[in-house]
Structure 1
Amino acid sequence: MPTKEPAPLDAVIIGAGVVGAACAYYATRAGLSVAVVDRGPVAGGTTGAGEGNLLVSDKEAGPELRLALLSLRLWRELAAALPPQDAVEHELKGGLVVASDERALTALRAFAAGQRTAGVEAHEVPATELRALEPELAPGLAGGFHYPQDAQVQPARAAAALLRAARRQGARVRLGEEVTAVLTDAPGGAVRGVRTPRGDLHAPAVVNAAGTWGGRIAALAGSHLPVLPRRGFVLVTEPLPPGLIRHKVYAADYVADVASDSAALQSSAVVEGTPAGTVLIGATRERVGFDRTLSTEALRRLAAQATALFPALADVHALRAYCGFRPYLPDHLPAIGPDPRVPGLHHACGHEGAGIGLAPATGLLVTAALTGAEPPVPAEPFQPGRFPLPDGTPVTPGAPS
């Protein structure tokens, strides 16, 4: 019998991290034929260096929070729908944000009040009740807020599970294959696929889910997206008794660090246990390009801040440390949707440290744009065309490359 020709592709998705995997999952579920291409393995970039955070506690009322609330629901649905062999280790552990003094607690109250109007559950915890939630917390804290909706998945497993589900729905996955060109009809013309060392893949749409390298893919297509790497370190401890740390716990200044534009080293303790018993300690942020050099100063700060929150960690051994690069955009919102300069080019990158939490909603937004469906949340705040060109010229549809 003659070999059956594969169906023509509707889209090529560049990136096999959790965002690209979610785009593939929802696109194939909508009946589209897609291929996922990545120069490395599944979750080989930012996803594999992530902690798996599904957070609403660190997001103020606005577009990103709407995306996060939708994604929380979608992750719950995925955890229930995927087969047991594709378990994403979804854990509804909840978050606890603590304030060191009354000034920080007052700011947290105002922050939580805005979040509640958007549908977030946020419960103030007096200082006298903090240790009922976290018995090992340091004494002397002013209070905090409990966010029961905060959750977690195992990021690499989640990306792999979504890609396997997409493959069962017909997606083609090509790993270890770098995209060397985005094919277009002409400079400024519509995309028609991508080129790799193994040949061309033709499709009328290309989805840039390349994470920290999203700016490079945009440039290959003749467009511009100012994605920059923002390095972060995580410490991993030896396994500890179950329940030593029960929630995702962090100091109130973490929220300010996430929203900061500074390129300098910033650190604020984020401490959480894992099902394996190890404790993950983050988070640092700095813009140093793709420099992977181990920063002893970053690790020192993390250790000091974590033990200030949980004194019991002072005698615990750190087994290892690792770093990753968050895809940073200047306004701290991801770029999701069609590129105004290159017809057929779509972006799904720039989520910074929230990519795992925002992946399912991103996949739905991209799929809506590809199919012409109504977006699940307002798409305008995430439009890639909001960034001017490097010379300051506003991006306009049809502008020459």
Structure 2
Amino acid sequence: MSQSNSPDVIVVGAGVVGAACAYYAARSGLSVTVIDRGPVAGGTTGAGEGNLLVSDKEPGPELELALLSTRLWRDLADTLPPGTEYEPKGGLVVAAHEGGMAALRTFAAKQRATGVSAEEIPADRLHDLEPHLAAGLAGGFHYPQDAQVQPALAAAHLLRASGARVRTGEQVTAVLTGGHGEVRGVRTPAGDTHAPYVVNATGTWGGELARLAGSHLPVMPRRGFVLVTEPLPRVVRHKVYAVDYVADVASGSAALQTSAVVEGTPSGPVLIGASRERVGFDRTLSTEALRRLADGATALFPVLAGVRVMRTYAGFRPYLPDHLPALGADPHVPGLLHACGHEGAGIGLAPATGAIVADLIGGKEPALDIRPFDPGRFAATT
């Protein structure tokens, strides 16, 4: 693939969504340049746990996107180097009381109708899946389609496999447009790069890039913390979370919300989440959030009470008010495509997002109906 200062497509953002856009665009024969003001996976991707989930999604457009991505991640696992740490380990959602189990049964029944595999696990079988789970839980549901990757490595391998020209440490300061408002490229301190298509894959900064182009997206950051333990034997086999996590994902509250999410990794550390709050880009350590995360994790896995936490980190999920990403052509700026606002699901939804963006640029019909993700749905709020 020839590379020049006039590629076919400029992808702004070198996180996993931008990397997937570059990968699928390049596979379709397009020359691609990726530009990011920071390093590869330096934003939300690098602060993620690498979850590829269907278990937490209501039937609807996001679940359809997740199911497509699940299939594509399996294909990528056979294509990309093993360093992505793709692990189809499955998820386990547990309930402490029978009321929670009833809610899980209703939720799983609706999901099964859309192609999700969900198996009810009675209380006396939970320890077959997770021997170190707390006693006395009411039961749970096993989701074999849930998986995990190491997100920063996945982004790096996708970019490398794409053959795209990657320019890091360059801030896009303007989106160049022509006489009819159409995209002509971008400007950075290094100069102008021309292309007929620009993809906004800037995550939490998606609204800022839209503004530079003269458009509008109400993307807001939603902060979350992760605790990372010392390396351990595989004491947690699946992604395990409590039933209230599903409600937290769907909530629009700006207040601090926490729910127990615990998973092991191939390299040994256990990752503990999840918290959500809208505090802008404030990275101040919240001892209250960390305390809640630790309490929730040890309530699910008492064995973790004696384990050292080696570090903690914060990240910002790119939140849109209706919890759906902006995916597709901008209604005001021809040639500008948005691929942002995935909130906490960007790593899981990245391949489907990238494939759809490549189809749109190539004039092909995407594999699913993307009208619910139309960036123009927010035009009335401008």
* TM-score > 0.5, shorter chain as reference: yes
- Summarize the alignment of residues 196-211 of structure 1 with structure 2, pairs less than 5 Å apart: 196-211=188-203
- Separation (CA, whole Å) in 1 of partners of 2:269 and 2:303: 14
Which residue identity does 2:105 align to in structure 1? Answer: R
SS in 2 for 1:387: helix
1:220 aligns with 2:221: no
- Summarize the alignment of residues 46-61 of structure 1 with structure 2, pairs less than 5 Å apart: 46-61=44-59
Aligned counterpart in structure 2 of residue 245 of structure 1, from 232, 236, 241 = 236
Q: Aligned residue for 2:319?
A: 328
- Separation (CA, whole Å) in 2 of partners of 1:316 and 1:165: 38
Task: Check whether the contact 1:224–1:389 (CA below 8 A) recurs between aligned residues.
Answer: no
Which runs of 5 or more residues in structure 2 are unaligned?
A: none
- Separation (CA, whole Å) in 1 of partners of 2:88 and 2:11: 30
The CA deviation string for residues 11-46 of structure 1, in whole angstroms up to 9 with x for no partner, is: 111000000000000001001111100001100000
Q: Aligned residue for 2:70?
A: 72
The CA deviation string for residues 262-306 of structure 1, in whole angstroms up to 9 with x for no partner, is: 000000010001112111000000000000000000000000111
The CA deviation string for residues 71-92 of structure 1, in whole angstroms up to 9 with x for no partner, is: 11111111101245xx311001
Aligned counterpart in structure 2 of residue 177 of structure 1, from 166, 170, 174 = 170
- Separation (CA, whole Å) in 2 of partners of 1:74 and 1:116: 20
Which residue identity does 1:259 align to in structure 2? Answer: A
- Summarize the alignment of residues 2-401 of structure 1 with structure 2, pairs less than 5 Å apart: 6=4, 8-83=6-81, 87-167=83-163, 171-186=164-179, 189-242=181-234, 244-391=235-382
- Separation (CA, whole Å) in 2 of partners of 1:204 and 1:80: 32
Gap change, CA 1:76 and 1:207, over 3 Å in 2 = same
The Cα of 1:9 is off from its aligned counterpart by 1.7
Task: Check whether the contact 2:88–2:144 (CA below 8 A) recurs between aligned residues.
Answer: yes
TM-score (norm. length: structure 1) = 0.93
The Cα of 1:173 is off from its aligned counterpart by 1.1
TM-score (norm. length: structure 2) = 0.98
Total equivalences in the alignment: 381
Which residue identity does 1:102 align to in structure 2? Answer: E
